[in-house]
Amino acid sequence: MSPHPLVDSALDLLTANYVFPDRAQEIAEYVRSRMADGAYDGLTDQALCEAVTIDLQTHHHDRHLRLLWHDEPREETGDEAEAQATMMADWRERQRLSGGGITRIRLLPGNVGLLELALVGSPDLVGPRYAAAMRQLADTYALILDMRGNRGGEPHGAALFCSYFFDDEPVLLNEIYDGGSGETRQMWSVAAVEGPRYLGRPVYLLTGAATFSGGEDIAYTLQQHRKVTVIGQTSRGGAHPTQYFPVGPHQDITIPIARTINPVSGTNWEGVGVVPDHEVPESEAETVAHRRALEHVVTLPAESAAAREVLAQAEKALADTE
């Protein structure tokens, strides 16, 4: 009998669902060898999850491969579809209670907008929130998108958010190859968004070491299409769409079931991250982006009293950063 049947169950799910079958077998063999050597003996359940996660990522460095622990137990029904529905309901509740992932909207000196996005949600939930945010920022002279703390979310939500930076002619953003079916889905920009598009003005996107998955999707897609200037640090490097599978009442394994392919680069950011156009410490990224935005603002014509006030504000703010 296996000393850790929960780990065996997780590995069975890995080999059945991972988008790279050959890698799945190799990873499973390595984890089983570690288990046979007693690497997981005597660990608490939570520490076991952490140790297995390290080993799942050892060879191919796929940061989406994780055995996760959650303190609150999930009721075990034995019905996988019901378990998946429960996890999806929890994810949607998290989106709802986090404002759709929008954690900060500000107007910075010089009429520069700032929008911070901490997750990428389901279009039906976050769509109205994205529209409201873009309405609030519609008249700014430049925009900063803060993705430094964005840990990911849904590809369709990423496509919807990216659509605000394209015109209404649909553009192919990404292709997603599904390992289970062998089919490829295309992700296009949305022809009709609820809020105003942000076109013809500078957009600066901030990344950091924690930027991951869906946050990287937005950053990489907009960077490849030359819609933003990326400022900050290289992101974590997780490109593969992932599904959560329940393993126990407190444990889930996350497994990439598909592979993203960007039509511009022909590849993705897996393992390498989104590399900034201007690399600076992420703690300085907002200041650097604001300064670049102000350098743009001071070149704009000021044909009204209000515009002249903004110009003066921008000039002062720019001087203060030097």
pTM for the model: 0.90
- pLDDT of 177-195, one tens digit each? 998 889 999 999 999 999 9
Query: DSSP letter string over 63-128?
Result: TT-EEEE-SSPPPP-S-HHHHHHHHHHHHHHHHHHTGGGEEEEEEETTTEEEEEES-B--HHHHHH
Q: How far is Cα 92 from Cα 96, in angstroms, rounded to an integer?
A: 6
**pLDDT surpasses 80 at 278:** yes
Query: Total domain count for the chain?
Result: 1
Q: Give 57-70 pLDDT, tens digit per residue.
A: 998 899 999 999 99
| 277 in a structural domain | yes
Describe the crossing of helices 123-136 and 80-97 by its angle, rounded to 10 degrees: 10
Query: Does any domain span residue 308?
Result: yes
Query: At which residue do the structure tokens 């897609």 appear?
Result: 221
Answer yes or no: are the C-beta atoms of 293 and 142 closer than 8 Å. Answer: yes
Percent of the chain with pLDDT over 90: 84
Any domain includes 70: no
Domain assignment present for residue 178? The answer is yes
Closest CA to 189 of 239, 139, 123: 123
The reported pLDDT for the residue numbered 73 is 86
In 3D space, the residue among 124, 242, 108 whose CA is nearest the CA of residue 116 turns out to be 108
Asked if residue 85 belongs to a domain, the reply is no
Amino acid at 212: F
Residue 76 has pLDDT above 70, yes or no: no
CATH code of the domain containing 313? 3.90.226.10
Which pLDDT belongs to residue 79? 67
Residue 78 has pLDDT above 70, yes or no: no
Amino acid at 293: A
pLDDT at 75: 72
Average pLDDT over every residue of 16-30? 94
Give the pLDDT confidence score for residue 77 in this predicted structure: 63
Cα–Cα distance, 108 to 146 (Å, whole number): 13
Note down the domain range covering 206: 98-238+273-321
Average pLDDT over residues 277-302: 97
CA–CA separation, 306 vs 298, rounded Å?
14
| 295: in domain | yes
Determine, yes or no, domain membership for 105.
yes
In a domain, 67, yes or no: no
Residue of higher predicted confidence among 55 and 72: 55
Closest CA relative to residue 60, chosen from 279, 265, 259, 262: 259
Per-residue confidence band for 90, with pLDDT thresholds at 50, 70 and 90? confident
Euclidean distance between CA atoms 18 and 24, whole angstroms: 6
Going by DSSP bridges, is the β-strand pair 242-246/229-232 parallel, antiparallel, or unpaired? Answer: unpaired
